[in-house]
Structure 1
Amino acid sequence: MQEIKITTTLTCYDNIEELPQNIQKLMESAVTARKKAYAPYSKFRVGAALLLENGVVVSGNNQENAAYPSGLCAERVAIYHAGAEYPGVKILQIAITATSDNHINKTPIPPCGSCRQAIAEYEMRQDADIEIYFMGGEGKIMKSNSLKDLLPLIFDKSYL
């Protein structure tokens, strides 16, 4: 038997003002998207904004449905929209923000497992890493250089 240790490194910013200027704007787009989320059941709003290599910013927010799990997460709304409207254009960065209507989350909230898998698919598809910035409603922001930092044992097409 052999034990394998997997480690990852993330960068932590204390607030939005510490982010590079272009990422501040991307996160502000994610916040704007979050405020428009349709979350009448969970009261948990998520916004995402993607920067594409052509300079376009695509945003998305969570869309809930009374027939769980028919809704869709903000990250996948944005990613699939970008894939539909800008096929073949690389995603460079993703900014994600999430918080509850009941209280402000101050802890950085990473993408869920389904969204991680969708981001992984796009990283593999474009053969390039995607920087991921995530935060709660306010406070610290975490940066991952690649989805591989959040999901090190990726399931990909090589297994099919």
Structure 2
Amino acid sequence: MTKEHFQFEYEVYNSIDELTEDDKWLLDEAREVTQQAYAPYSRFHVGAVAKLNNGETVKGTNQENASFPAGLCAERVLLAAVSSLHPKAAIETMAISYFNHNGESNKPITPCGICRQSLQEHMEKTKTPIRLILGGMYGEVYVIPHAEMLLPMSFTSKDLKQ
């Protein structure tokens, strides 16, 4: 028997003010787009904004549905939009923010498991790592250099070819 160990490093900023101008702008856009989310049931509005390698930006918000679990997360809405509108482009950086009408919005949240898998698939398809900026409406901000770090030992298309 052997024991394996997994760990990763990410940056923690005290606030958006410590980010570069480009990263500030992206996170501000993610914060703003939360207003477009359709979340009448959870009242947890999530926005995601991606900067693509072709210079374009794409936005996505969570879309709930009374027929649970038929809703979509902001990250997957964004990934579908990128694949549809810019099929040859890759995402360089994605900012994700949220506004919680039922509580605080003062700390970073991470993508859910399905979104982590979807990010992994997009990175595999485009052969480009996605850098993540995660923050609420205020408070700490996390910068994760590679979204792959959020899903260690992921299931990929390579597993289907064995």
- TM-score normalized by the length of structure 1: 0.96
- Secondary structure of 1:6 counterpart: coil
- Secondary structure of 2:27 counterpart: helix
Is residue 89 of structure 2 the alignment partner of residue 89 of structure 1?
A: yes
User: What amino acid maps onto 2:119 in structure 1?
Assistant: I
> 1:32: how far off?
1.4
Deviations 1:82-136 (A, max 9, x none): 1100001011000000231022221210111111111111111111211011112
Rounded Cα–Cα distance in structure 1 between residues aligned with 2:2 and 2:35:
48
CA contact (8 A) 1:35 1:45 kept: yes
Higher deviation after alignment, 61-70 or 25-34:
25-34
1:41 is matched with which residue?
41
Rounded Cα–Cα distance in structure 2 between residues aligned with 1:148 and 1:86:
22
1:24 is matched with which residue?
24
> 1:137: how far off?
2.6
CA contact (8 A) 2:14 2:139 kept: yes
User: What amino acid maps onto 1:99 in structure 2?
Assistant: F
CA contact (8 A) 1:104 1:138 kept: no
Q: Where does structure 1 lack aligned partners over 5 or more consecutive residues?
A: none
2:148 is matched with which residue?
148
2:61 is matched with which residue?
61
- Secondary structure of 1:26 counterpart: helix
Rounded Cα–Cα distance in structure 1 between residues aligned with 2:138 and 2:16:
8
CA contact (8 A) 2:34 2:46 kept: yes
Q: Percent identity?
A: 36
Q: Where does structure 2 lack aligned partners over 5 or more consecutive residues?
A: none
The alignment of Structure 1 onto Structure 2 pairs a total of residues equal to 160
2:99 is matched with which residue?
99
Rounded Cα–Cα distance in structure 2 between residues aligned with 1:103 and 1:113:
23
- Secondary structure of 1:94 counterpart: strand
- TM-score normalized by the length of structure 2: 0.95
RMSD across aligned C-alpha pairs, in angstroms?
A: 0.9
Give the 4+ runs in structure 1 shifted more than 6 A. none
User: What amino acid maps onto 2:33 in structure 1?
Assistant: A
Rounded Cα–Cα distance in structure 1 between residues aligned with 2:103 and 2:138:
11
User: What amino acid maps onto 2:32 in structure 1?
Assistant: T
